[in-house]
Chains A and B, each alone.
Chain A
Amino acid sequence: MSESRFRGTDRYVVTDDLMMAVNAAVTLGRPLLVKGEPGTGKTQLAEEVAQALNRPFIQWHIKSTIKAQQGLYEYDAVSRLRDSQLGEARVHDIGNYIVPGKLWEAFASETQPVLLIDEIDKADIEFPNDLLLELDRMEFYVYETRQVIKARQRPIIIITSNNEKELPDAFLRRCFFHYIRFPDKETMEQIVRMHYPGLKKRLLSEALEAFFEIREVPGLRKRPSTSELLDWIKLLVAEDIPPEALRGDQRKSIPPLYGALLKNEQDVHLFERLLFMSRRKKD
């Protein structure tokens, strides 16, 4: 039997509100839309839900050129044309050239799967609307083969967005929604601990201190997030940086290896300039 409530995993820290959102969506069979700053664990969430509930995981990564239809199926006319030129026998059955998309895959799954529709905001503004009907009815029609594809059971659908575009109201009405707030220090500490269980306490607290300080620098184009922090800590450990080197009050220079935190050139300049100014003030 599969577990039916999601409570997080030993690799993923889940806050109470997120837990509730997931369980409400699972119980009622509605999609869950997750937004949040980049790197706040939106994509990983879906994987962990699949893992925890012991369900197959299907990921549909959205790019700007993707059409909703591609999630259902595609008719590969080009291969068929090629086969006909080569005189292949399979050319006579059009079904050989119908390529199922991710939604089809999810509908056809033996056990209820978790379907992740990742970064839906990358697609055209009409994309979510184009999926409404299939998500509501849990079925669609394949014109070429005159087949109706019905979902064996409602997949657990998790959708992520980075807020690049606004999503249509009709679409939003059908979803549960959760905005992942940027983790506070305590939560962040848990997250880091999960990734690096053996990390020295002092290094962790100094690193977190410095990290949250940098995030507060006004005017950054891209504030470092969880994934950057994790990368940075990995580097700190690999380079054997002592915790003292991260101390704010003694910090003579920019924190070591900060390139892992600030990836945008303008941000690096800004940060260096601010630091320079603050040092001058103190002298």
Chain B
Amino acid sequence: MMTDFFFKLRKAGIPVTLTEFLTLLEALSQRVTAHNVEEFYYLARTALVKDERHYDRFDQVFGSHFKGLATRFDELAGATVPLEWLHKLAELTLSDEDKQLIEAMGGWEKLMETFAQRMADQEGRHQGGNKWIGTAGTSPFGAYGYNPEGIRIGQDASRHRRAVKVWDRREFRNLDDTVELGTRNIKVALRRLRRFAREGAAQELDLDDTIRSTARNAGYLDLKMVPERHNAVKVLLFLDAGGSMDDHVQACEELFSAARSEFKHLEYFYFHNMVYEGLWKDNRRRYAEKTDTLMALRTFGPDYKLILVGDATMSPYEVTYPGGSVEHFNPEAGDVWLKRLLTAWPHAIWLNPQPQNRWSYVPSIQMVRELMSERMYPLTLEGLEQGIRTLQRTR
């Protein structure tokens, strides 16, 4: 029952890991909840979901999975914890960290044994004693420095099995890894863009100046401080949220999430195909909550660096004609607006998720690229690096 739940969550795109699932089981075994569905729901959510954007999905999965469930949850935690689900779980989700945990614990079988034991004799003593997971030192879980001392998962036979499993799950893991890698790499690339400027309160000892001043002060200490380094780069991110961009949503999301964590001053807006008089911040409410492009032009100074992300794949009318937009009547043409942006924010690049070798076949891409004075780069790591180098160039 619980196993299936776990898999359904993952299938729904909620990145639950084994560590978290074990936490939930531990909480159940420690009687954090009385036996009622609502409390169990809260507990499961707080243990498994780490991003409120996934709450809704969680609710859906929970609802469908536990429909009509009796209010008794003893069965849930499971008198018998099926061993096979842990194995299955491992195939799909085991990270290095997880593996370390399991090994420290003495392997799957041991882990399950301990768990079953805890379940059996937990009655009446839910406080005190060694906690199953978490207490450093006394419990193998959460103990970073624990030395597995040659304890491997299972015995020889299972070690052999494990080797096969590693092989088997390669593609899953790769998939996960590349996502991880992607965001991380993008962050590293974006970091390039950080220009370190000194601003703010004096906080760091300026050694050179202190020595100089102390000498001048006849050897009496004269401390000199300088402000610490801050990330002072300001970024405006304009994202195309149009239909043809659907294929590239993931790349854009990654860029966006990386950028968001990397910059202190980040403003973002959505547009559709081409920037016109209106932008929006929330894609679902794009008709209700428009921001005047003019207002954005007035609000953000020329020190902002502009990064446009879009496939620039549209009808040429959308670029050059008033009223050319597919979505609404635009009094002024797209190219007029783009030029306006580039005047306001001279440090600008366009990132295009379309493969670069296709660009020359799409007239609108050619047009936009020209408008951007060639500052269009593919939305790949390499392209991002090039683009950022361009943004860094001061002119």
Contact = CB atoms under 8 A, between A and B. Distances in A.
Interface of A: 4, 16-17, 20-21, 23-25, 27-30, 32-33, 35, 64-65, 78, 81-82, 85, 125, 133, 136-139, 151, 154, 165-166, 169-170, 172-179, 218-219
B28 to A, nearest CB: 10
Given A28-B26, A125-B261, A137-B145, A17 B46 contact: yes
B260 A166 contact: yes
Ordered nearest first, which 8 A-B pairs have the shortest CB separation?
A179-B52, A20-B42, A21-B46, A172-B50, A165-B261, A17-B42, A138-B136, A177-B50
Contacts of B167: none
Contacts of B134: 28-30, 154
B125 to A, nearest CB: 13
Interface stretch (B284-292, B318-326, B365-373): B284-292
A176 B42 CA distance: 11
22 contacts: A16-B38, A20-B33, A20-B46, A24-B27, A24-B32, A24-B46, A24-B47, A27-B30, A28-B23, A65-B200, A65-B203, A78-B223, A81-B221, A138-B136, A151-B136, A165-B261, A169-B15, A173-B19, A173-B20, A176-B23, A218-B285, A219-B289
A34 B288 CA distance: 30
Given A20-B39, A82-B221, A177 B49 contact: yes
Interface of B: 15, 17, 19-20, 23, 26-27, 30, 32-33, 38-39, 42-43, 45-47, 49-52, 55, 97, 126-127, 131, 133-137, 142-145, 180, 187, 200, 203, 205, 220-221, 223, 228, 230, 257, 260-262, 264, 285, 288-291
B142 A64 contact: no
B46 A30 contact: no
Contacts, number: 109
Given A20-B33, A28-B30, A177-B46, 5 more contacts: A28-B133, A28-B134, A85-B221, A166-B257, A178-B46
Contacts of A170: 97
Contacts of B285: 218
Contacts of A125: 187, 261-262
A129 to B, nearest CB: 12
A4 B19 CA distance: 25
B17 to A, nearest CB: 6
A136 B180 CA distance: 23
Given A4-B127, A16-B42, A23 B264 contact: no
A174 B38 CA distance: 23
A136 B142 contact: yes
Contact of A28 (B38, B131, B260): B131
